Every structure is written in C-alpha cells, then in structure tokens.
Amino acid sequence: MKTNSIFSSLPTGAAPSLLHSEHWTPLGYFAAYRLILAGLLVVLNLLGQTPAPFGSLAPSLYNNVIHIHFVITLLTALATYARLLPFNPLVDIHVFTDIAGVILLMHASGGLDSGLGMLLIVSVAAAGIFSIGRTAILFAALASLAVLLEQSFLYMQAPYLIQTSPSYPQAGMLGVALFATAALVHTLAQRIRASEHLARQRGLDLANMAQLTDYVIQHMQTGVLVIDANDQIRLINTTARQLLGVGSRVVVGKLLQGELPALQKQLQAWRESRQMNSRFLELADNQQQLVSSFMVIGQNAGHLIFLEDASEANQQAQQLKLASLGRLTASIAHEIRNPLGAISHASELLGESPLLEKSDKRLLSIILEQSKRINALIESVLQLGRRERPQPQDIVLGLWLHRFLEEFEHHANCQPGDIYLNLGKIPITVQFDPMQLQQIIWNLCLNGLRHACNASTPKLELSIGHNEKDVWLDVRDHGPGIPAEVAEHLFEPFFTTADKGTGLGLYLAHELAESNRARLLYLPPPDGGARFRLLFGR
C-alpha cells in the first residue's frame, strides 16, 4: 500500500477534490432517496392513490412531471453508481433536477399550500454537503427565486382558483429557510471535510510511523521480543530470530514457555527479584551465549526483552581492556625510555675505556644489544599510541608495488629472483593510506623473508587478485608454515615465537588494515608455506 511520507503533508488546495472523490457513497445514498421518492409518486399515481392536493390544479402536468422526473432520476442514479460523469456535474444535475421538478409539482398542486416546497430543503441541504464554494448558496437563491416566480405565475394564470392573495410571506420564509439551510449545512460540511482531511493525514502519519518503527525494530542489531501480560509473543525481530535460532519459524502469538522455556525461566526470575536486569542466557540448541535484559511495558501490560550476543559484548569489553592496557603500556614505555637511554649512553662511554678486559667488553655488548631490543619494543608501543588517522588515496596497486619493491629489495639486500611479483592483467585501484600500506606490506615481507627457506626460489611471492566483490594483495613465503595453534594468536599483541621479536608487528599491521576499512587474514596455502592476505574494502 502506497502512502505519503510522514515528513510531507497534503496540499490544502488538493483537499476538496480528494474529499469529493471519496464522497461517492453519500451521493449514492442521495440518489437512492430521490429514486425512491420519485418512484413512490409514480406508483401512487398509477394506483389512483395520489394524496390530495397533489395534482389538484393541473392533473395532466402533474402526471407528466412525475414520470419525466422519475426517468431523469433513474438515469442520474445509474450515472452516479457507474460514475459515468464527474462528481461535481452529477451533484449539479441532481439538485437542479429536484428544484425544477418540485417547482413544477407545486405549480400543478396549487402552490405552497401543497407542502411540496419542503422537499426543496432536502435538495438544498444536499447541495450544501456536496458542492464546493458558493454553489450551495447559488442553489438556495435559485430555489427561492423559483418559488417566488411560481407563486406570481400561479396568481396571474389562475387567480380565480386562489381564494386569497399570493403567499409571498410563506415564500419568503421558505426562501430564508433555504438560505439558512444552505449556509449552515455548507459550513458544517466544510468543518467535517477539514476534520476528515486532518484525520486522514494523521492516519497516514501514524501508518508511516508504524512502518518506520517496524523497519527500525526489524533491522536493529539488538534482538527484540515483546511479550504481553499472558506471556504470549507479540513481536520478534529478525535479529532475535537469528540469535535464538528459530529462523523463519512462526512464534508470534504462541506462549513463550512453549517456544523458549529458558528465556521464560529468566523472565520469571526477573519478575520475582527485579534485580540484575542483564543476565546470561545459554541456549542448548546452538551452543550460543546471549545477554538478556527485561523492561516492563505500561502497567502490567507486558514486557520488552532485549537480546545481545555475549561474544560481541565480550569482544567489546576486551577491546576496552586492550585500549586501557595500551594507554598504560604507552605510559610505562615512556617512563622506561629515559633511564634506558641513560643506560645505553653509559654503556657506550664505558666501552671506550682501554682498561676493560675482553670478558667485560662482551658483557657491555650484551647490555647494548638488549638495550636496543628494549628500545625497539618501546618504539613499537609508542607507535601504537600515536598512530595517526588514515588519509586514504587512490592507489594503483601494480605501480605502487613496483616502487615498493625497488626500495624493499635494496633495504633487505635481496638477490634477483628472491621475490616474484604477479600483478595480473587488469590495473586495479584501491583506496588506502600509502604510508600505512607500505608499513603493512613491509612488515609482512620482512616476516616472509625471515621464515623462507634459503633453497626455495622465489623466497617471497606478491600477487594481486580480485573478483566481482573483493580485491586482495597476497604475501606468501615458501617456509615451513605456521602451526595451527600458533595461527590462532598471530594478531594478538605481544605474541611472538621469535627470540628477538616484539610481538607487535602483525598486531600493528592488523590494526592499520582495520583503520583503512580492510582486513588482514592468514590463509595457509594447501601446498605449504604461509600466506597473508590484505583484503581491501569496497
């Protein structure tokens, strides 16, 4: 169903046409009333039961008018039900036909004394309901003028049949009644239209708001369940279905106890204690731990249950711990750096003394070597703390890799054939910070050369790949590979298997990739060795 946006409203000028287009049913009722009244007059005339004084002055005119009026009324009723004509012209035909017919019937029945003039009030009231603007007043004026002319014409045509003077006061009072009816009904109709328009607009807003609310709830990352006072499930969003493992199985309208007994047990425990709003929920079906929280809706009307994946909550807590640990470590590293510099400087000065024995010089070299190692660790830790925000640029991977390898091979003293480069046939452009990309690939290449077997040629392979969704850059070595138990901890900070490693290289590379909306993965090749894949975001 198409509806207007909740942020838009119907223009004021469009309201009347919209409302009139929706008033066909009341117009049909009015057409039915006219058809019944006209048919009743025809039937009574055919049965010879025409009530006095109808047709007393001009029987033949009365007989012709009721039959012609019935035919016109029937045709206009059919046109109304079939909507053969626009709404407003049909209203005009209905009202004008009634005014003309009633005036002629009054004339054939002796004028205002016949009482037929009261039928004009119904027609003018209908004009006030269905017509736009001043049309209702126009019909009231037309009917009043017709009554006055009919009275004057009747007196001039047959004065000997009228015992008294023309009933101009009665005609005037009827005219006033017609104008008052038209004005009041038209005013009330305008207010009703405005109320209907406002109600319709509010209905559209509520419908759109309900659709928006349903869309937001269904696409929330948090699972949501609504339980009524009888513990029946009234709403469950997509995330809750996934977390609870119910899939597309319909659970709305069923008891929580029958569908999710573990959750029902927690809800009951929360009702009794109203403490520890967040609780761990372990599902036996999918071996998944969830965090559930509860909230009362209204006054004992039901409950709102929120579900979150406990692993994600634990991951967020772990990230907060790592962030705090990083700040603490950076602070400690900064404090260690100054005395470490003093130790290194003092060792270098002591090493220049000619009185030192060979064994003492060996001890000093150990001190300097270990000081440099600690200093490298401190530099890595401080680099984590002062890492700058990425400034991504368009990088043509093939050209960038050529320039990178020229610098890297010179730095690493590589021999020809140590590194094999596979760029593919199609130039590929990615968005990445150039300095951070160089830092990631530099670290991966150094690790690859360190673990590559000397007898293998090439020692290192760099290749670019892509499909319809992803672009990647692989760095592979032909070394002994990485054991599975070690691969699980590759990207953890301070984890290393090397005697002189800091354990921050791969962790820093992983974090730099994440900050550039990329992913660094370890994918062991089936034929041995180690392969790291930088998967670029698109």
The hierarchical CATH code for the domain 223-311 is 3.30.450.20
Are the C-beta atoms of residues 531 and 475 closer than 8 Å to each other? yes
- pLDDT tens per residue, the chain (538 residues)? 344 433 343 344 434 443 444 578 888 898 999 999 999 999 998 998 888 888 888 889 989 999 999 999 999 999 999 999 988 888 889 889 988 988 888 888 887 878 888 888 888 888 888 876 577 788 888 888 888 888 777 777 665 555 445 567 787 788 888 888 888 888 888 888 788 888 888 988 888 888 888 888 888 888 888 888 888 888 888 888 888 877 776 578 888 888 888 888 888 888 877 665 566 665 545 456 788 888 888 766 788 888 887 766 665 665 666 567 667 766 777 777 778 778 877 877 777 777 777 777 788 788 887 787 777 767 766 665 555 677 889 999 989 999 998 888 888 888 878 888 888 778 888 989 888 899 899 989 988 888 776 556 688 889 998 887 788 999 998 888 888 888 777 877 776 766 566 667 788 888 888 888 888 888 888 888 888 999 886 5
Report pLDDT for 410: 84
Domain boundaries, the chain: 12-202, 223-311, 313-385, 393-536
Phi and psi at 510, nearest 5°, equal -65, -40
Q: In angstroms, what is the C-alpha Rg of the chain?
A: 46
Question: Do the Cβ atoms of 204 and 197 come closer than 8 Å?
Answer: no
Please tell me the predicted confidence (pLDDT) of residue 460.
87
Measure the CA–CA gap between 359 and 434, rounded to whole angstroms. 47
Token match 């509520």: residue? 206
Its pTM stands at 0.43
Contact 207, 285 (CB under 8 A): no
Question: What are phi and psi for residue 233, nearest 5 degrees?
Answer: -75, 120
Pick the CATH number of 393-536 from 3.20.20.70, 3.30.565.10, 3.40.640.10, 3.40.50.720: 3.30.565.10
Angle between helical axes of 434-451 and 397-412 (0-180°, round to 10): 50
pLDDT at site 388: 63
Output the pLDDT for position 184.
Answer: 85
| CA 283 vs CA 261, 270, 287, 478: distances in Å | 10, 18, 6, 44
Cβ burial, residue 7 (10 Å; 0-12/13-18/19+) = exposed
- Within 13 Å and on the Cβ side, how many CA atoms surround 156? 6
Q: Are 54 and 105 in contact (CB under 8 A)?
A: yes
Q: Provide the token pair at 428.
A: 């590929």
Range 313-385: architecture per CATH: Orthogonal Bundle (1.10)
List, in order, residues 6 or more apart from 295 with CB less than 8 Å away: 303, 304, 305, 306
Please give the full DSSP string across 394-431, using - where no structure is assigned.
EEEHHHHHHHHHHHHHHHHTPPTTSEEEE--SS--EEE
Identify the pLDDT of residue 9: 39
Cα gap 379→375, rounded to integer Å = 6
pLDDT of residue 278: 60
How many CA atoms lie within 13 Å of 212's alpha carbon, on the beta-carbon side?
Answer: 11
**What is the rounded distance in angstroms from the CA atom of residue 509 to the CA atom of residue 447?**
12
Any idea which residue has 């036909």 for tokens?
Answer: 97
Count of C-beta atoms within a 10 Å radius of residue 87 = 18
